[in-house]
Amino acid sequence: MNIIRTFISRHFIAFVAASFFTGALFPLDSLAAKLKLATQKQQAEWSTPWSEKAGVTLEYVADSEGVDAWDASKHPLVFMASEGPGYGGLLSGVSLPGLSIYDADTHEVLASQSYDVLSWGWKNVFEPHGLGTSPDGQWIYLPTGEGSFSSTGEHAGRYLIINARTLNIEKVIKVSGQAHHASSYRTPSDEQRVILYGWTQPLFVLDPENDHKVIGATTYQDQGTEAYTYFASPNGDQIIATGRYRSFEMRKHLKDNPVMLIDPKTWKVKHWISVEDSAPTMAAFSSDNKYAYVSGARNSVVIKVDLEKNKVVAEQRAGVDGPYGLHLGWDDRFLYTVGKGEESHNRGKMVGLVDSDTMDVQGARAMNQFYTGCIRGDHGTLHPDPDVNEMWITCNASFEVVVFDLDQKEVSARISTPNGGSTHSGAFVRYNKGWRGVGETLSDQNGLQGSALTLKRELLKN
């Protein structure tokens, strides 16, 4: 009992302190008083053939204008991450979905906000499994919902579209399944795109510059199977989906699953590529757009896919049990595998190291593993400054962000979430000249993008 009292007391004190110093507090006024149900006219104006195909609808609208939640001129480079209740028997100190913003250099908590979705009549809150930002950094996309992983219908998931300057909600999109991840990319013609998907909710893609309307989508019929995650290639010319069987029993006994290459012009699957793992999880791309690396959680492997030949060319042990996140460093050689314990104990605390140069050599093995203490870390995000050379790992069961030094191969900092909440993935965003200038998402779970990707390509030439 003393341990429980200490845990509750520690998180309550952390919450009060964070609320006092950063203005981060649970909103006293209900969201229901701010948001309005979208009218039939508003729903019709927002709707597209693609949104109808994806089974997603506009539910709430609001005016997201207001005072600045934080000073972007004083803190131009930030890390935005989700914050929520937790799940899987390891619950946090908060009960609502929310987000936190950190200075990417000083690690200072700049702001945080939670959203009182219970005022909509929900009985409970589904854990936000990360967040995404628009490529220009003006919008945040936060997944949440009511119920469990398998909820559908009235208890289906939602995406909160949030003004990054004010942290006020602009829109709420209702999806047909439970909301999972969000990430962004730019097309070859430099158009902004945001990827959203969930459990029993296949891929749909928004245009943040056109009222966040759905401009593309796939169905499970298009794919031939259910997919778990989706990632855009560095050039924005294709999207890779990782197939996954819904049934855990099927994943235990079957030996393979596909990854699918989707054309983001036609939204058709171009290729199905079989991988020898029943639970492929995440993907990382080489900067030259030639290779995709996929983490296989069931067999704890990394799979190398040649995107020109459309086939698997190598496989290697991941160095950790149940790898989830998979991320290339600035050298485009070493792969960092985040040992979540996916398909296993789900209490992972390690980061593995794989050399992509030696994967093709028969008998080659993972190089090492490193203890982080980041309980159930899942996603890593590469810091967009190569001189800093860090990966920020979000820890959804130790309620912190762990900064991993890629030079020293050790944890260099631990940043507690301001309200003691669980956190999954985030994005590094730079704001030039504060809010009067241009924002840019530089790195998220999909890897480096924008000017950071350009810089990496230039460095690799030398």
Q: How far is CA 443 from CA 245, 391, 452, in A?
A: 29, 10, 8
The SS3 assignment for 190 reads: coil
Q: How confident is the model at residue 350 (pLDDT cuts 50, 70, 90)?
A: very high
* pLDDT tens column, 9-48: 334 333 333 333 333 433 434 576 689 999 999 999 999 9
308 pLDDT higher than 80? yes
| Averaged pLDDT for residues 399-417 | 98
Listed in sequence order, the residues at least 6 apart from 9 whose beta carbon sits closer than 8 Å to its beta carbon are: none
pLDDT value for 93: 85
Contact 164, 63 (CB under 8 A): no
Specify the amino acid at residue 392: W
Q: How confident is the model at residue 3 (pLDDT cuts 50, 70, 90)?
A: very low
pLDDT value for 152: 74
415 pLDDT higher than 60? yes
| Of the candidates 44, 108, 35, the residue with the CA atom closest to the CA atom of residue 74 | 108
CA distance 370 to 408: 11
Q: How far is CA 103 from CA 74, 106, 110, 322, 415, in A?
A: 10, 6, 7, 31, 11
Mean pLDDT of the chain: 91
User: Which H or E run includes 451?
Assistant: helix 450-461
- Would you say domain 11-461 falls under CATH 2.130.10.10? yes
Q: What tokens were used for 380?
A: 């890593």
Q: What percent of the chain has pLDDT over 70?
A: 93
pLDDT value for 48: 98
Q: What percent of the chain has pLDDT over 90?
A: 84
* pLDDT tens column, 256-289: 899 999 999 999 999 999 999 999 999 999 999 9
- CA 361 to chain centroid, in Å, comes to 32
399 pLDDT higher than 60? yes
CA distance 327 to 336: 5
- Furthest C-alpha separation in the chain: 62
List the chain domain ranges: 11-461
pLDDT value for 30: 54
Per-residue DSSP letter, 422: B
User: Which of 3-7, 110-114, 223-227 shows the lowest per-residue confidence on average (mean pLDDT)?
Assistant: 3-7
